[in-house]
Each structure stands twice: as structure tokens, then as C-alpha cells.
Amino acid sequence: MLCKSPFSSTRTELSIFSNITRYCLIDSSTPSPRMSKASAPGTASRTVSARERALAIRKAQEDALARLPLNTLYIVLWIRSDPPQPNDFHWGYYFHTSPQGGLKYHMRNLGAGWIPDHGSTGGVFKSNFLCVLIQIASVPPAKHSQLDQVMRSRDRDVNSIPGVTCRVWLVVVILQALIQAGVVRCSSVEALQQECMAFGNQYSAGAATNTQPRPVVRSRICL
């Protein structure tokens, strides 16, 4: 399955505001002569309810982002199908650098190859099919530049990595380099990968049903 750019997708908001638009059109239009007077309050109630749900979800996502400790690094998993399949995720990194957001690092599939998709984001909790954020490190300011260099170190030759996928790039290549650089402390890369899979499988059903906000957990293998 193709790995598109999950950081930039906002399925949740699109579906919510689609509903809001539908309800607002009904509520603001002139009532049809065939519409009973008793139905108008129900329509208004549905409009308010949709707006309230949209605002509540947005606030939950903003609060979840604000609660993340600064200078923390996460492995992020997204489900890739609905219903979700076991161990089937898109993998990426998120580095939280301010209360308003941070930096995304991941590879996405384009045609027969892979391309880097790194940059600033304030919408990690709004991402399409987001499953779970797994904290793997706290990174002191002195190592921020080194972290960024490691993340971008294979951008030009990513397709020369044997068997490259988003997971292989993240776990086999970049994670190993982060450990060697002292940015991440991890006793076993394989154990961390299995731990991430377990977290993803645990929370994938909630991602499919759009539970808000998505969970944030801490690795027991790292830190």
C-alpha cells in the first residue's frame, strides 16, 4: 500500500465540517411549506451539536499537543486500512519543539520509489489515520542540530537502502544512527520495534473509530 503524507491530511476536520455545512444549509434555508414546525428545533439542535462536536475535537487535539513535553522525540504510527490490519502501519518521527508544534520526519512512497517528507507541523494530532505517538527520547537543545542532520542523512540515497520502506528507513537506518550519536538510548532496536507494533495493534481500533485525542505512550525500551 502506498504511504502518502499523513501529517498533512485532516480527514477528521473535513468530515466534521462537511457535516456542519450540511446542517447549516438545512438550518439557514427557508423552511419548506411541507416541513412541520416541530421539526425546526430538532434541526437547530443537530446544527449546534455538530458544531459543539467539532469544537470539542479541535480543543482535545490542541490540548493534547500542548501537553507534550518540549524537546521530546516520538515514533508515530498510522493505520493504513479500515478495518486495520495487524502490524500494518506507516511509520514516521515527530520531534516536539514548541507548544504549537514541532518537526516531522518520514519517507513517503511516490511511484516506484520513496521521497523524504520532512518539515514543520502543528497538526500531528489531526493527521489522517493517526494511531499512536510513542515517546522514545528527550533531546537536549545541544543535540537538536545533530538530530536534524541524522534525520536527513539518507534523503539523497534513500532508494539505495536494501528493501527500503518507511519502517526500514526509520528502524533499521535512522534509529540505529540516532543511537550511535547518543540522541536515543535504546537497549534493543528489535525489542523497540516489537513494542511499537504492540502499541499500534492495541490502539488501531480507536484510530479506525476516530477516538479523540489519539493516545501518547512512553517506550519501556528507551529513555
d(C-alpha 56, C-alpha 50), whole Å? 10
Write down the pTM of the prediction: 0.81
Tens of pLDDT, residue by residue over 47-85, are 768 889 889 999 999 999 999 999 999 999 999 999 999
**Could you tell me where the beta strands, DSSP code E, fall in 15-117?**
72-79, 89-98, 101-105, 107-110, 113-116
Phi, psi of 137 (to 5 degrees): -165, 155
Task: Say what the pLDDT of residue 149 is.
Answer: 98
Return the C-alpha cell found at 111. Answer: 511511484
H or E element in which residue 51 lies: helix 39-67
As a whole number, mean pLDDT of residues 113-129 equals: 95
Tens of pLDDT, residue by residue over 18-50, are 333 333 323 333 344 444 444 455 666 677 688
